[in-house]
Structure 1
């Protein structure tokens, strides 16, 4: 039975939608909601939304990458792994991880994030704990398969979830805060592994077993907390007032358009958030959109080095001439560098509305780092170690910049959800590649691995430049077409269904 308040809310939203779609002038946020402090509201959202999802990703990346720390504590020796068996255990994670990313976002579109995300988190925490009791290669392989399947929904799910709360100019900083957890996870993983490994012999278990058990149990505990703390969507957020809810819906609905030129042209408005339909045609739009595939390959070119470093950084440092405990600790500042550069770059990217120029600098930094590592690995270990800072400081922020690029340039919530899942599904296949780049037979210098990653980041710089030029050309064509009246024949419904192909939609560069 509907309450008076719910009826009033429905009527106010309908009036709002009718008003903004029937007039030629689209009011600004300040004009429409003079009593809402946008900056204060944004800070309120940040406190409610960002910390929890960041913690979820911290646990996720910690659980998928701690196998590298466990390995230098004796995992391969105790399980009798030979040849490429350790690398294969890393690889199979990504087979199931990538397979379930798109289906997971389809499910999330129909379920509440506060329910779906904690459920999958309990599942992967359980898988992680069970990895601490495996006794052979096949047991480890099966656990990694299930870990990939259960973790698959988090990254594409949160990437989509954030677009339901934040406008384009606010997006990259929040995504960066979320993904900076990957760098923090690398740092904490080294520190935790150093401390937990001291438990070797407790209850008759090896130190590497305790790494899996304790971190898996911690994940389940965080999942329980997440069930009570994750907010769902603006329209039903209890921490917002009625006017703040309408403010956010209006803001997101008309985000991404040139307000005055669109109104002057036809009075039809198109944005990121207009389309909330689950129609299959929007799934096909995502699959057929070239930018989904371009960003997917860009993610491959950045994520391959990220995954290979996250898995093998302790081994790379150890083979520079350090003992295991020191290698664990020396990995910490390198990982923190990735987290810091990610957040700093995102702040300036959102503040000044630029994506590609900073992304290009990221790839240049990684290129420099790999050249340093490739040429000095066996002769000057200190230079190789310094090169790791350039690599992580470039690849981590580049990954976030690409994801943000796709988020802000895909219109329609359902299309955006699927486009993000596609890009991440293909991009995360790079984890399977990264897991096999640094081979045991290439120690101590790992020259082949450094050379392969150098090729990846060089290709990334090239493709990013091509994508930027394509976006810029599309914006120019739309401006010229609007000025010439090329789109005057289109109906409101046709423009509505065009999403980011609308002549009123401007790609961010």
Structure 2
């Protein structure tokens, strides 16, 4: 049947290439080489954004390195007060993620992301000037509030540039900056510790001050470096901008051509079961992520090594995590089996934590740390890409990504309280609770995969078909009652997003 006249909208995206649905059809794009364009996007977007996330993760986790250089006795705080200072960061961080993503969509990324970074750099610098528990807690709250927008914002922002089969490796490369920051943080803390006593400041204070000043400079420079959304990006020609958006629309991202803010798009995200199950999938790796990054130096130091050797021993762990994260991102984009990859690597991570719970040998525990990274670092960007791949509508996707990441981060508050000083050197309680969260991730990943598979099957059977045009037969009237009627397929795509019958979920 001719797709232009079909009463049903159960058509794949590849069949719906109609001239009237083409973005800026008047622009000739025949001279644009698509492969060169993708390389141009990668060079313009990924290096600087990855560097910003490196600074972000370095700033939020450097307190774990600073703790090894007499932070607690100098500020006259107890171990419980130190844990509280870690906890408050996650509350402000989680609260402001969804509003920040909405602002990012409404404003220019070059303005919003640069402003956030400049302000959290100031908070980081001031953190090195505090003298008591109250000052430290206040700065950690403010740091979390301003850092909240970067990670969910950049993941959403990148999803506005790349097809679903291209986004995973970019998300992995961006997130791998966290692993680099873990390695770099240990090296940097070891180097900065030599400034002990300069200007009357202890080593831990210099860690905060110097890293904060670097962030301030990077935030100011970002205004001129960060690009805006594809339809207005100044580094692209008109033809290149058209190609970027047409590619996205051909990939069932119809909203790439532009979408006005309406509350119904936000409510669609809030009421979508995929958002809520995705939140549990994500928390299965995100709570372990923060526990791992905040306490890895402490865990290693308590098992055998002192401050500087412990920081240095974190470097190969994070290098391994970086490699495995990028590998999983590549495999997921190439083969599209994000759910299966999550299950494999969460299982490996769980095995690592089982060893950590049972081990009483320093070398065995250090080996288990490498296994533990497999259930954390590659799963984070893979889950974000999985959720993003299965949400259409630019505002809906921005809110869904922020909700998923925000829920994961609020559970970071749990991670900051499970490695108690009285449990050292083996920290069985902390390792056991992390293992429990990995179990949550395994269960939720299985659930998400099975539900997506079932929904795809319903669409293959025609149970979700809409009526395009006038409903004439009894069957079409029943479809209209159940799934709606639209004048064109473009209207159905725009109004229904990922609920459109031709949309297929990535498993």
Match of 2:140 among 134, 140, 144: 144
Which residue matches 2:339? 356
How far apart are residue 271 of structure 1 and its match? 4.0
Distance 1:207 1:229, change over 3 A: same
Number of aligned positions between the proteins? 472
Deviations 1:213-262 (A, max 9, x none): 00000001111221111111222222222211111111112313xxxxxx
Deviations 1:319-341 (A, max 9, x none): 11111110010011112222221
Which residue matches 1:498? 496
1:440 paired with 2:421, answer yes
Which residue matches 1:280? 263
Which residue matches 2:286? 303
Match of 2:307 among 306, 309, 324: 324
Match of 1:412 among 376, 389, 393: 393
Match of 1:205 among 195, 201, 205: 201
Contact 2:459 2:465 in 1 (8 A): no
Distance (Å, rounded) in 1 between the aligned partners of 2:400 and 2:237: 32
Distance (Å, rounded) in 2 between the aligned partners of 1:73 and 1:392: 25
1:189 paired with 2:185, answer yes
Distance (Å, rounded) in 1 between the aligned partners of 2:236 and 2:78: 56
1:174 paired with 2:175, answer no
SS at match of 2:106: coil
Deviations 1:8-60 (A, max 9, x none): xxxxxxxxxxx955679x89x9xx84432211110110000111111111110
SS at match of 1:402: helix
Q: How does 1:70-81 map to 2 (within 5 A)?
A: 70-81=66-77
Distance (Å, rounded) in 1 between the aligned partners of 2:107 and 2:323: 33
1:452 paired with 2:433, answer yes
Contact 2:75 2:132 in 1 (8 A): yes
**So what's the TM-score if we normalise by structure 1?**
0.89
Deviations 1:136-159 (A, max 9, x none): 111101000110111111111111
Match of 1:95 among 91, 95, 100: 91
1:333 paired with 2:313, answer no
Distance (Å, rounded) in 1 between the aligned partners of 2:464 and 2:257: 24
Distance (Å, rounded) in 1 between the aligned partners of 2:415 and 2:114: 28
Deviations 1:424-483 (A, max 9, x none): 111111210110111111011101111111111122111101110100111110011179
477-486 or 345-354, which deviates more? 477-486
Which residue matches 2:409? 428
* Unpaired segments ≥5 residues, structure 2: 1-15, 467-474
Q: How does 1:24-423 map to 2 (within 5 A)?
A: 33-256=29-252, 271=254, 273=256, 276-376=259-359, 379-423=360-404
C-alpha RMSD of the superposition: 2.0
SS at match of 1:216: helix
Distance 1:274 1:473, change over 3 A: farther
Distance (Å, rounded) in 2 between the aligned partners of 1:88 and 1:122: 25
Contact 1:356 1:465 in 2 (8 A): yes
How far apart are residue 496 of structure 1 and its match? 2.6
Which residue matches 1:7? none
Deviations 1:184-209 (A, max 9, x none): 11111100000001110111110000
Contact 1:374 1:447 in 2 (8 A): yes
**So what's the TM-score if we normalise by structure 2?**
0.90
Contact 2:96 2:149 in 1 (8 A): yes
Contact 1:114 1:227 in 2 (8 A): yes
Which residue matches 2:461? 480
Distance (Å, rounded) in 1 between the aligned partners of 2:464 and 2:505: 18
SS at match of 1:300: helix
Distance (Å, rounded) in 2 between the aligned partners of 1:335 and 1:179: 12
* Unpaired segments ≥5 residues, structure 1: 1-18, 257-269
